[in-house]
Amino acid sequence: MVKISKRMNDIDTFMSTKENETCLAGTDEYGNEFVVWFDTIELLEWLDIKYMKSQSKKYINSLNK
């Protein structure tokens, strides 16, 4: 099994399908385009949206100082 580590620098496409799939597409750290597909229910189970919002607010507030 090969582990691939990528950074999605720019997300330019988001899509959720009726087949329970979610797609994020964009470019990586080298400017190459790539796409990641997720099972939507699994994605929602794994993401902690409340925590992500809290961390984003902290980051935004730190920019104003």
Contact 8, 24 (CB under 8 A): yes
Q: Is residue 2 part of a domain?
A: no
* pLDDT at residue 65 is higher than 90: no
Q: Residue 64: its pLDDT value, please?
A: 79
Q: Is residue 3 part of a domain?
A: no
Residue 39: pLDDT band (50, 70, 90) is very high
pLDDT in tens, 4-13: 899 999 999 9
Q: How many domains does the chain have?
A: 1
Q: Is residue 14 part of a domain?
A: yes
How far, in Å, CA of 35 to CA of 57, rounded?
27
Give the range of the structural domain holding residue 43, as residue numbers without chain letter. Answer: 10-63
Q: Is residue 15 part of a domain?
A: yes
